[in-house]
A and B are shown apart, each in its own frame.
Chain A
Amino acid sequence: MKAFKRLEGLVAPMDRANVDTDLIIPKQFLKSIRRTGFGPNLFDELRYLDEGQPDADCSGRPLNAEFPLNFPRYQGASILLARENFGCGSSREHAPWALDGAGFRAIIAPSFADIFRANCFKNGLLPIALDAERVDQLFAQMYETEGFSLTVDLEKQLIETPKGETIAFETDDFGRNCLLKGLDDIGITLQSEAVIRDFERKHQTRFPWVFETLEV
């Protein structure tokens, strides 16, 4: 996994509450058996005026000129500023894959849906929850200032604004550590292999029916 330590990046808005993962990456793109290639289809139904097809070239598609992420001023953004309950709905990890593919490394919102947040941490994408008032202020500053950028320091858990103001945020220790070091959490779990084997033996004695073979 890509490590995430410090990021200075342009901020772009997704200014609506309850953005669901269907909106982030519509279902037709979930037919892919790859982890990559979803970037051009991020927010497909908002970004383009026509219906997107998997594995199709997006360069000639009609863009929705009213969708902020299509505005020239937000091109190259790596921080998405969003509203509450971002990433609700389907568990599709294609949502963080699409955000990552479109160049986003961090999302700032008042709250995130549980599964989406967990999926972000596994893909080098940092979800930052700030209180709603603070997010409101950032939206206002971003709309006011073209080229509005923020610096995110994960180690210090601080965001720096262009005016030099700092905003503290919290992340859970495990997720932060994995992101900072770019760790594969399967590898971490397998360090406990003996402990798992031992647990499994006791578990099987207690709940033997769980270990009956499924003969299909």
Chain B
Amino acid sequence: MGKTLYDKLWESHLVETRDDGTALIYIDRQLLHEVTSPQAFEGLRLAGRQPWRISANIAVPDHNVSTKASERAQGLAGVKDQVSRIQLQTLDDNCAEYQIPEIPLNDERQGIVHVMGPEQGATLPGMTIVCGDSHTSTHGAMAALAHGIGTSDVEHALATGCLIQRKMKNFRVSVDGELSFGVTGKDIALAVVGAIGTAGGTGFAIEFTGSAIRALSMEGRMTLCNMAIEAGARVGLVGFDDKTLSYVAQTPFAPGESHWDQAEIYWRTLHSDADAVFDREIRLDAATIQPQVTWGTSPEMVTAVSGRVPKLEEMATDTARQGLERALFYMGLEPGMSITDIKPDVIFIGSCTNSRIEDMRAAAAVLKGKRIAANISQALVVPGSGLVKKQAEAEGLDQIFKDAGMEWREPGCSMCLAMNADKLEPGQRCASTSNRNFEGRQGFGGRTHLVSPAMAAAAAVAGHFIDVRDLVEVGL
């Protein structure tokens, strides 16, 4: 019987299996950031342990950082919130103490950990990659076994170079055909979450296959794998191909010349065998996927932009009806209303889901020569890393955003989870390119609608959700 990509990655990192059904899995790379690592380092310290392999790790501050240029110019001193500043300082101190490589706050390579990793080649095909952040699934786009962990496991990976795991089941999501203009990896991701639900992938590693996935750029694949966790799957995967190779080849930490050929030979094996068996499969037709908009407080509460908010009587169970009622109350929406009648107050383009150069370009293409609507009180564009920012500026994209009336910020997680000052006010409604529309996620009482960068830009211009294809000419 053939093996899935997940099976291959699992087996190549399997240190030992135990009678109780658990296994020890070797970890090639751990990404660290300021929020979920302090207690792990403290644990090491209390137990008198040292990191197993220092160079398995790389750290970067991202969640708490200010995205305002004036504050960033002052370094850590510019972080006004003292609790945040201490946390950021603690990351620096821990990395210094344990000699862990850290990309510091104002280095141009600094950025959201899941943007920086692939961009630097710190995360490579075939690796096992962990991070104390559920969106670590992003790195599966490079045919790597990557998943989020809690802080105890951050400490475990630091101390032992391994994690105690159980093998997941295999889930294949095939998307064949051609995506129509204006439809992106984000829309596939949201459509998948809508199809299987936020718990549909629990216990599974999801591999995305099919011609529509092959056609996606590496950035698009990262967006897709990033959101595997929103379908409950810790792991998202895309098989290795020439696009992966070209992407990796231009990264600074790509294998050196002496190892490159050996690496490429191995990487070429990183795909599921033709006769591999999956525990679960679904198929989507790319041509039927429309731009998606979430209307509720869970990513599975999603529909096409041409759709409408569900009605209570359409719910099958009491729990679902109560969930819908609660979501609509929180979101301030009427049952049955058209998605295009929903008017955001705030636009957020950024996050580990959608802050890469392709995302910046997609938003700018819609915004070029246009202004944001009068009802939009704030529009933030937050590039995922200093390098994305630099590239966007070289292409003049920052000017397009500024001319449209948007704010062009410094890299960080920003309003995706609002740990810094970028947050929604109670009742404010946001068209957001991030990944979670949970209650309070973007700020206490804030309301989130998840969309692609092009759809966020279209909503900014129109002042309400609109099919981006109605706003810009096909082929733009």
Which residues of A come within 8 Å of B, CB atoms? 16-18, 20, 22-23, 26-28, 30-35, 45, 51, 54-55, 83-85, 88-93, 96, 111, 113-115, 118-119, 122-123, 172-174, 177, 185-186, 188-190, 192-193, 195-196, 199-200, 203, 206-216
Q: Is B473 an interface residue (CB 8 A)?
A: no
**Which of B64, B83, B159, B439 has the most CB atoms of chain A within a 10 A radius of its CB?**
B83
B164 touches A18 (CB 8 A): no
Q: For A31, list chain B residues within 8 Å (CB).
A: 35, 64, 81, 83-84, 86-87, 419
Specify which of B22, B127, B155 is in contact with A186 (CB 8 Å cutoff).
B155
Residue-wise interface mask of B (249-293) relative to A, using a CB-CB cutoff of 8 A (1 in contact, 0 not): 000010110011011001000000000000000000000000000
- The residue in chain B whose Cβ has the minimal distance to the Cβ of A214 is B101
- Whether B20 contacts A173 by the Cβ 8 Å rule is yes
A195 touches B298 (CB 8 A): no
Chain A residues near B122 (CB-CB < 8 A): 214
Which chain B residues border A30 with CB–CB below 8 Å? Answer: 35-36, 63, 419
Chain A residues, Cβ within 8 Å of B13 = 203
Using Cβ atoms and an 8 Å threshold, which residues of chain A touch B362? none
Interface size class of B (residues with CB under 8 A): 35 or more
Whether A119 lies near B152 (C-beta < 8 A) is: yes
Q: Are B438 and A118 in contact (CB under 8 A)?
A: no
List the interface of chain B (C-beta within 8 A of A): 12-13, 15-16, 18-22, 24, 26, 28-29, 35-36, 38-39, 42-43, 47, 49, 52-53, 55, 58, 63-64, 81, 83-84, 86-87, 90, 101-103, 109, 122, 124, 126-127, 132-134, 148-153, 155-156, 159-162, 164, 166, 198-199, 202-203, 229, 232, 234, 253, 255-256, 259-260, 262-263, 266, 298, 300, 319-320, 322-323, 326, 417-419, 426, 436, 438-441, 444-445
Q: Are A27 and B418 in contact (CB under 8 A)?
A: yes
User: Which residues of chain A are near B47, meaning CB under 8 Å?
Assistant: 186
Interface contact B18-A174, CB-CB below 8 Å: yes
- Decide: A33 and B38 in contact? CB cutoff 8 A: yes
Chain B nearest Cβ from A110, distance in angstroms: 10
Nearest Cβ in chain A — how far from B378, in angstroms? 19
Secondary structure type dominating chain B contacts: loop
Chain A residue nearest to B234 (CB atoms) is A114
Q: Which residue of A lies closest to B159 (CB)?
A: A186
Contact of A114 among B19, B35, B42, B232 (CB under 8 A): B232
The one of B21, B28, B326, B419 in contact with A27, judged by C-beta atoms closer than 8 angstroms, is: B419
Q: How far is the CA of A188 from the CA of B18 in the complex (A)?
A: 12
Choice from B81, B159, B426 contacting A190 with Cβ under 8 Å: B159
In the complex, the chain B residue whose C-beta lies closest to that of A189 is B160
Whether the Cβ atoms of B134 and A115 lie closer than 8 Å is yes
Please determine whether B101 and A196 come into contact, CB atoms closer than 8 angstroms: no
Contact partner, A216, options B20, B58, B259, B262, Cβ 8 Å: B58
B83 and A32 form a contact (CB under 8 A): yes
**Which B residues are CB-close (under 8 A) to A33?**
38-39, 42, 86-87, 90
B326 to chain A, nearest CB (A): 7
Q: Which residues of B contact A32 (CB under 8 A)?
A: 83, 87
Task: Compute how far the CA of A212 lies from the CA of B101 in the bound complex, rounded to whole angstroms.
Answer: 13
B15 in contact with A207 (CB, 8 Å): no
Known contacts A33-B39, A212-B253; A172 and B319 CB within 8 A of each other: no
C-alpha spacing A212/B326, complex, angstroms: 51
